[in-house]
């Protein structure tokens, strides 16, 4: 506990609260140039990280702060949860964490009320984020606003639609070509992965494999030990995070394969939701 408290104070000491100097560039966009009352449309926050910088996934790991959205919507409009693209391993100095580099689009579904009669709608929101390299740059309640036309039909914005489609390809999903099971004890979690019948791809085809914990059950800064069993099953042994959730019915997260889960390497990440068995 003392180590993590010391680390927290360290992060606070090197952080700057001057949002004008924050290195992360954030732009709020809509997938549609015109939306229709009563229907769901998508807005996104386009994050552009300078070289060497990163921000954090929905669970950052043992260091970092996830991007947070606080909406101020007109009456009747409803915002869904952030749809998070698959994370990658990032480094906060010497501490591995879970986040993003380069460009990423955080997507959110918005549902308009059926009785909206005005020709436009303005969506207001405040964002919190942490952008880090050798030091960290927090941003707190940064305001954004986006005005979208409302009409009789929904019209996609061609350029923005392409960005959303690309981001959707980065969202991990369960893959029936792979079978996963998991077990847990007091100090570790073991994830087992094997090809489903008919899957032409084997464990040795995957290259390096890394698990990203969606709820902090797995310690993000500890090594993950990979073993290939005699029957071709991948066994990934991971340390539990002492401050993570204790009552765990399932192992939740994302599993990234260096060479992809399919033969065309087009699917680098799959979603994991595996029941946890105990000794």
Q: Could you tell me how far CA 183 lies from the centroid of its own chain?
A: 24
41-55 pLDDT, tens digit per residue, is: 999 999 999 999 999
Is the pTM higher than 0.85? The answer reads yes
What are the C-alpha distances in Å from 86 to residues 18, 82, 167, 243, 268? 29, 12, 10, 23, 9
Confidence at residue 21, expressed as pLDDT on a 0 to 100 scale: 79
Residues of the chain with CATH 2.60.40.1250: 20-168
Phi and psi dihedrals of 248, rounded to 5?
-120, 105
162-179 pLDDT, tens digit per residue, is: 999 999 999 999 999 999
- Residue 39 has φ and ψ, to the nearest 5°, of -115, 165
Q: Give residue-wise pLDDT tens across range 228-267.
A: 999 999 999 999 999 999 889 999 999 999 999 998 888 9
Question: Mind listing the pLDDT tens digit for each residue in 88-120?
Answer: 999 988 889 999 999 999 999 999 999 999 999
Q: Which CATH architecture has domain 20-168?
A: Sandwich (2.60)
> Topology of domain 178-277, per CATH?
Immunoglobulin-like (2.60.40)
């Amino acid at each position: 506990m003392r180590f993590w408290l010391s680390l927290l104070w360290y992060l606070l000491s090197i952080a700057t609260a001057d949002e004008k100097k924050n290195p992360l560039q954030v732009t709020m966009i809509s997938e549609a140039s015109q939306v229709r009352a009563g229907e769901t449309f998508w807005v996104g926050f386009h994050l552009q990280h300078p070289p060497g910088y990163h921000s954090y996934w929905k669970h950052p790991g043992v260091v970092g702060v996830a991007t947070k959205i606080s909406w101020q919507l007109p009456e009747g409009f409803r915002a869904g949860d952030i749809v998070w693209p698959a994370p990658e391993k990032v480094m906060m100095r010497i501490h591995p964490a879970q986040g993003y580099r380069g460009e990423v689009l955080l997507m959110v579904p918005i549902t308009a009320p059926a009785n909206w009669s005005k020709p436009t709608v303005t969506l207001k929101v405040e964002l919190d984020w942490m952008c880090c390299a050798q030091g960290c740059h927090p941003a707190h309640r940064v305001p954004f606003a986006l005005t979208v036309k409302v009409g009789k039909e929904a019209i996609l914005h061609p350029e923005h639609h392409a960005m959303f489609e690309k981001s959707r390809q980065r969202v991990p999903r369960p893959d029936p070509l792979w079978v996963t099971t998991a077990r847990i004890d007091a100090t570790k979690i073991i994830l087992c992965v094997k090809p489903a019948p008919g899957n032409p791809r084997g464990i040795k085809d995957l290259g390096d494999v890394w698990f990203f914990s969606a709820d902090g059950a797995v310690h993000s800064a500890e090594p993950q030990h990979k073993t290939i069993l005699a029957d071709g099953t991948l066994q990934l042994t991971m340390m539990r995070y002492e401050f993570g959730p204790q009552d765990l019915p399932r192992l939740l997260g994302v599993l990234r394969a260096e060479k992809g889960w399919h033969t065309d390497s087009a699917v680098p990440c799959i979603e994991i939701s595996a029941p946890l068995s105990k000794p």
